[in-house]
Amino acid sequence: MKTALKKQTNDLNMTALWLKNVCLLHDLLIQHSPKQSLDSDELISMTTDLSDLIRSLSDLCIQAYQQLLSITETQLQKLIVPALLESETIAGLSGSAVKLVVSRKRAGSDPRPVGADAPTMASVLRQLGALHTALSCQSLPLSLAEQALRQMTYLICACALNNLLLRKDMCCWSRGMQIRYNVSLLEEWLRSRGLQAGGAVATLEPLIQAAQLLQVGKKTAADAQAIVRTCTALSSTQIVKILTLYTPHSDLDEKVTINFIRTVQELVKGRSDTQPAQLLLDVRRVFPVTFPYSPPPALSAEELVIPDSLKISFLRRA
């Protein structure tokens, strides 16, 4: 099984198949562990051997799971920023695409000529759908799919938010509306598949609040209090950074004043649930995974289907 996994490092469906096989064997060994009726010495020997094997299979489960995520992560990395931050999902809301292309080139990401096909939210959802389908086709537990999608949505949030915090051209009212709409498409996709309960939607909260921060009023003391009250998933450093980078959308909009930013800073200090004072999220953060125990139901000999190609028809069903 280890050899098979190494040969399928880029194949999502085959990796999911071997994850299922390893989990099944792991649960079967637990299900059929020796009972206390055995001789004590024999029981100790068998239990030790099985414990070692079960532990090895548990490690292999984690390896297969991480390989599954790594395949999807590789595909998502090049899609996240163009799809969530740069795509014109709401047509005509923001300015010319030329500005985004120039800014992307200056930021060091992969530039594309104007008019060329660029990744959209459909591209992101397609990759997430491939992961979900691979897990579903192997009848792996729903809780495992929830954990996998939670890891992927965290990656999406971290990459998008980190990029937003480093790009002045992204910090404006219209871009905030585009980002919020794009995230809502992801939320809807998760809910339509019953995956919202596992934390996948909750991990998107920092990006959602950052998009909302770009859209709310930023003038009065009441505005400052509202920002501090609603942006609980953002650190004070992140809030101040977004306010500092904020660029007026039109002549009717105004740049955020230094006094307003200082007011927000003072209010944030009084929060009881203050986030760690960090600017960028750790894109390499890995959530622990739990594999639910789900052994297959017991089958009687009469229910077994034995292929003729095995040439064991001489065996009798007990």
Look at residues 37, 52, 285 and name the one whose alpha carbon lies nearest to residue 150: 285
SS3 (DSSP) at 245: helix
Under 8 Å CB-to-CB from 134, ≥6 apart: which residues? 12, 13, 15, 16, 68
pLDDT at 173: 94
**Residue 107 banded pLDDT, cuts 50, 70, 90:** very low
Distance CA 262, CA 313 (A): 83
Assigned token pair, 311? 């040439």
DSSP 116: S
Radius of gyration of the chain (CA): 26
Cβ atoms 12, 134 nearer than 8 A = yes
Under 8 Å CB-to-CB from 307, ≥6 apart: which residues? none
Burial of 161: CB neighbours in 10 Å, binned 0-12, 13-18, 19+: buried
pLDDT at 250: 75
pLDDT at 105: 46
Look at residues 128, 109, 120, 110 and name the one whose alpha carbon lies nearest to residue 86: 120
- Name the amino acid, one letter, at 160: A
What is the value of pTM for the model shown?
0.85
Look at residues 260, 215, 293 and name the one whose alpha carbon lies nearest to residue 27: 293
Assigned token pair, 119? 């990744």
Dihedral sign, Cα of residue 193, residue 199, residue 201, residue 207: negative
Check pLDDT > 90 for residue 299.
no
SS3 (DSSP) at 276: coil
170-190 pLDDT, tens digit each: 999 999 999 999 999 999 999
Concatenate the DSSP letters of all residues of 24-71 into one string: HHHHHHHHTPPPTTS-HHHHHHHHHHHHHHHHHHHHHHHHHHHHHHHH
How far is the CA of 121 from the CAs of 136, 179, 193, 271, 317, in angstroms? Answer: 22, 10, 17, 35, 54
Distance CA 19, CA 138 (A): 9
pLDDT at 35: 57
- Name the amino acid, one letter, at 275: Q
11-36 pLDDT, tens digit each: 999 999 999 999 999 998 888 776 55
How far is the CA of 227 from the CAs of 102, 280, 290, in angstroms? Answer: 31, 19, 36
Check pLDDT > 90 for residue 77.
yes
Under 8 Å CB-to-CB from 254, ≥6 apart: which residues? 219, 248
pLDDT at 97: 42
Backbone angles phi, psi at 244, to 5 degrees: -70, -40
187-208 pLDDT, tens digit each: 999 999 999 888 999 999 999 9
